[in-house]
Structure formats: C-alpha cells, structure tokens
Structure 1
Amino acid sequence: MRKILLASDLDNTLIHSYKHKREGDICVEMLNGAEQGFMSAKVHAQLSSLPDNVELVPLTTRSVAQFERIQLPEGCYSRAITTNGAILIEKGIQNEKWRMSEKHYADELMPLMEKLRAELDGNEKLNVVRIVDEMYLYISCAKPEYVGEFMDRYSTLTELDVMLSGRKIYFLPPEINKGKALKRLAQGEKDAFIFAAGDSTIDLPMLEAVDLAIIPEALDSLLENPNRSVFKGDGDFAEFVIETLLDKCKKITIKRHF
C-alpha cells in the first residue's frame, strides 16, 4: 500500500488555544499549571488510529520546548520538525546532523538578529523578544494595534523573512523554512504521497511543495499549488484536515485494488 506522509502545522491547524475551547475538547497542552491547548475529541480519536500507511509529521514554528509541552495521542507520530524546519526530532531525540546544517544558515544572520533583539528588547509595546533555539528571532506585540507599527518598520528593513501570525512577528533566515525542511525529509520517502496542512502564510513554503495542500479559505488566494483541498466551513479545520486525509487514503486504496 502506497505510503501517505502528512506534514501538519499544529497551532490553529491540529490544535487550538483555550480561548477557542468547546465542550468535549481534550486538553493537549499545559502551561504553568493551566490548560493551554486543546484538540477536538474526534481528531484525537482519529489520530490514535491512523491507517498503517499514514505517517503524521508535526511541522511547527514552535521551539523545541514549546513543542514538547504538547501531548499528542500516543503513537500517532515518531518524527517531528520544530523551529520552522530547523530541528528534526526522531523518537524524542534531536537529529544533530540536521540541526547543525540548519544552524549554519542561522549563524550567518545571527549578528543581525542580535542587533534587532538589542534594539527591540525592553520596548513596552512588546511582550516577548526572543531568539528561538539559536535559529530565529521572535517578538510578540502587547496589543493587536501595535502589529502594524512593527511590520511597517521592519518588514522590508532586513535580510530576514519577516512573517506575521496574529500578534506574533517572526524574523526568519530565508534558508530555514517549512518547505525546505519537508523536501529534505521527503527525499527518503520513495513513491510516497506527500500531503501538508497549515493555516498561515508561514506554512506556504511547505504547502507549495506537496502533492496535496489542505488549507483554510483564507490561504486560497495566496497558494499557487493547484492541488489543494480548501476548508470553507465554520466548523473545525482540524477535523477537515484529518477527514480529507482519511478520504484520500480510501481512494488511494480503492484505486490500487482495481
């Protein structure tokens, strides 16, 4: 049976914050003793019993520490990629060769990131100014109305890719992205179908690089890849992602049978 590899973003794709918790949701993340992240009970059950030919690979911009807070259903994945593609984790262990090859790109731009961090640190309009896993710079605005100010000032000012997600702004080395990471991972996946699911512009590099992109309607006009399934409903995007995956899996199985 032909393998399907699903590279999936986490936040607002497979999981959602406590702010969007609904009745029946399952807590999958704790932060400082408080419930932080949730998953639909239906998705949780589906991830617990994925078909044998499906491999889920979480591919997130979260740091290693932030990723390790998440408790996905036991056994639903063995490999994950964090830090926007910079760090591969296999059965709980970081792949040092992968990390060092990506760190090379970060090191080239680290003086610039350090300069920006020093400039931004202590700004009362920011809650967080941090270099993440020695790979990229991240800031979080204290209020939504501050986002435009920082994007206007920095989006074309640096050699870094400046990406926005809500109140968070990421300063990313161009060579470290989810698309490049997925292509690298897929080199060892001969004849596999490669799917990807994501909800933000940071996910676009990986969504462009796959046999099927699973996206919300907000990304429809931004994505060039014609091979896509678009969520246009008001329900749970995570449920749409897994249902699309399972539907494609059935069709591939039927096609192979005949």
Structure 2
Amino acid sequence: MIYSRSAAGPDAVCVEYLDGGALSFMTAAAADRLSALAAAAIVVPATTRTVRQFNRIRLPGRPWRYAVTTNGGNILDNGRPDRHWRTGLDAEVRASGATLSQVNAELCSRISDSFVQRFRVADHLFPYLVVDPAALPPEFLPEWDAWCRPRGWSASRQGRKIYTMPVAVCKSRAVTEVRRRLTDSGELAPNARLVAAGDGALDAAMLRSADAAIRPLHGELEELAWTHPNLTVTGASGIGASEEILDWFEKFRQLPAGRSPARIGSTRSALRRTSTSGAPSRKR
C-alpha cells in the first residue's frame, strides 16, 4: 500500500514521516479507497515492520482495532502489543531450535561491511540486514538459509533487506488468531471470508491460507514466480498496483458467498504459473 518518494506519482499523499522528513506515500485514490474499505469491512494491517516502525505510519482508515506487526511476532490490540500472544510465541521459538543469540552470532560471522550496510534486530525477535544488492555475494543467501532451516529458522530477501526468521513466527498464524478473537466476540461472522494481499516471501503462507489472495506484479513473489490456486496477480506494477488491489478487495466484498473473485475487474489470474507449492521456490 505504501511506497517511497521515488516511486510516488504527482498526486501521492505522505503517510509516514521520519525525523521530520516525508518517507512513505500512497496515491490519493488509494488513500480514499482504503478509507472506504475500512468503513465497510474489518481491515487488519499485517507487516514485517516493528511496532515502532508501524506506528510511524498514518494509514487512512485508522484507528485499527487489530494490527499484526513484526511478521506476526506481535498482535496490536488498540495499539498495544498483546503480551499473552508474544509470551507464548517467545516460548515456542526457544523450544523449536536455535536461540536468537545463536543465530545472531552465526550471522555476524558470515557478513562484512563489503555488502551489509546495517544489522538490526526487530523487537528482540529476529535479525535483518540492509544490504547493497550489487555487492551481495550470490552464494550468501542460499548458504545462510541452508544453515538456518535445520535449526528452526529461515532466510529470505525482500528488496535491500534480508530477513532471518524463526519458523514459528508467521503472519498467517497471527491473522488466524485475530480472526478467532473477532469471531469469539461476535464482531465477525463464523463464515466470514478472509482475503489477503502481499508481495514478499514472508507473505506466502498468509496468502495461501486466505479464501482468496492477490499480489502485485512486482516484488519478491513475482521474482520467484510464486502462485497458488486462490491467487490473483495485478495487471499493474509499482504504486499503481495498490489501487488495483483495493479495487479487487472492494469487488470481492460485494460478491455473494461462494463466488470466485479470480478474474474480477482488470486483474489477471495467476494460474498461468505452474508452481503451486506451499513455500516459494528459490531461483536465485
């Protein structure tokens, strides 16, 4: 939904500031459509950003009852991290493989200033790197991922960032928990449909678990040629895809139960692809 200044068009509106400077943008049309969607349906923002990074954004449609941050590591309830969710997740991460300290130590032994610009730990949960893509050794990511997998972690790249993620930390699990809470409280009907959008490998499980999903014609999942039977791909790439995604959401919301949204509007079906595996295949 949000893009950098360089990707924004002349009608873009700023939705994020950092140190007084404009950082992230939406088109004016996308901002209007997100506001309208949030007034008619339950919208749950889901992001790999930390709690602090997410709270910098002023998305149209706020305030949100629930939001998912830190790739599912935190569920925000009225803006506050849910301690019960995080405590249980931390315990599961500790029991499932290598600790964060062990992963950080091994990662530090494999990187150098020649291709890594920043090393960060997100909400005391997982590390990520900001890299120079042109200087990144081609063997680094597959070799690092191969070390992580048997230890309960995985590695993936999204743009200039390389995330090292505990397998237990996943947006789809947090979204499922939010859906359970909304159903239990009566705010959501038990048969309510779930639709999702995302563009990175860390979004794949969330897209796969939705009743219907959409991704833009750009990003890591496009590079991986990832698809699934419930998936639609936009016809536009870049910031224009955000408007198309929101149009698709709204048209899906208006569909009678049981109708497929696979070819709503101008979006095109992703079934032209051949891969339907649960995890993105790596072609780097």
Deviation string 1:47-67 (CA, Å, 9 cap, x unpaired) is 222265411111100111111
CA RMSD of aligned residues (A): 2.2
Once residues 227 and 207 of structure 2 are traced to their aligned partners in structure 1, the CA distance between those partners, rounded to angstroms, is 8
The answer for the alignment partner of 1:86 in structure 2 is: 73
On the 8 A contact 1:138/1:171 being kept in 2, the answer is: yes
Deviation string 1:181-216 (CA, Å, 9 cap, x unpaired) is 222222233211101000111110100001010112
- Cα gap change, 1:67 to 1:193, in 2 (>3 Å): same
Once residues 75 and 54 of structure 2 are traced to their aligned partners in structure 1, the CA distance between those partners, rounded to angstroms, is 12
Once residues 134 and 89 of structure 1 are traced to their aligned partners in structure 2, the CA distance between those partners, rounded to angstroms, is 16
On the 8 A contact 1:183/1:209 being kept in 2, the answer is: no
Once residues 64 and 121 of structure 1 are traced to their aligned partners in structure 2, the CA distance between those partners, rounded to angstroms, is 26
SS at match of 1:196: strand
Point out the more displaced range, 115-124 or 157-166. Answer: 115-124
| Match 1:35 to one of 8, 13, 22 | 22
The answer for the alignment partner of 1:3 in structure 2 is: none
The answer for the alignment partner of 2:109 in structure 1 is: 119
Q: Identity across aligned pairs (percent)?
A: 27
On the 8 A contact 2:236/2:244 being kept in 1, the answer is: no
- Cα gap change, 1:37 to 1:157, in 2 (>3 Å): same
On the 8 A contact 2:17/2:23 being kept in 1, the answer is: yes
On the 8 A contact 1:25/1:41 being kept in 2, the answer is: yes
CA-CA distance at 1:20 after TM superposition = 0.5
Partner amino acid, structure 2, of 1:142: D
Once residues 2 and 61 of structure 2 are traced to their aligned partners in structure 1, the CA distance between those partners, rounded to angstroms, is 15
On the 8 A contact 1:120/1:129 being kept in 2, the answer is: no
Once residues 131 and 179 of structure 2 are traced to their aligned partners in structure 1, the CA distance between those partners, rounded to angstroms, is 35
Query: TM-score scaled to structure 2, two decimals?
Result: 0.77
The answer for the alignment partner of 2:166 in structure 1 is: 173
| Match 1:150 to one of 140, 145, 165 | 140
Q: Verify: 1:229 aligned to 2:232, yes or no.
A: yes
The answer for the alignment partner of 1:66 in structure 2 is: 53
Partner amino acid, structure 2, of 1:54: A
SS at match of 1:187: helix
Query: Aligned runs of 1:47-66 on 2, under 5 Å?
Result: 47-50=34-37, 52-66=39-53
Once residues 26 and 48 of structure 2 are traced to their aligned partners in structure 1, the CA distance between those partners, rounded to angstroms, is 18
State the structure with bigger RCO (CA 8 A, min sep 6), 1 or 2. 1
- Cα gap change, 1:49 to 1:216, in 2 (>3 Å): closer
The answer for the alignment partner of 2:202 in structure 1 is: 202
CA-CA distance at 1:35 after TM superposition = 1.1
Higher strand share: 1
- Cα gap change, 1:32 to 1:117, in 2 (>3 Å): farther
Displacement over 4 Å in runs of 4+ = none
The answer for the alignment partner of 2:253 in structure 1 is: 249
CA-CA distance at 1:99 after TM superposition = 1.3
The answer for the alignment partner of 2:268 in structure 1 is: none
Point out the more displaced range, 107-116 or 76-85. Answer: 107-116
The answer for the alignment partner of 2:119 in structure 1 is: 129
The answer for the alignment partner of 1:161 in structure 2 is: 154
Once residues 4 and 62 of structure 2 are traced to their aligned partners in structure 1, the CA distance between those partners, rounded to angstroms, is 23
Partner amino acid, structure 2, of 1:163: S
CA-CA distance at 1:234 after TM superposition = 4.4
Partner amino acid, structure 2, of 1:166: G
Structure 2 unmatched runs, 5+ = 184-189, 260-284
Structure 1 unmatched runs, 5+ = 1-13
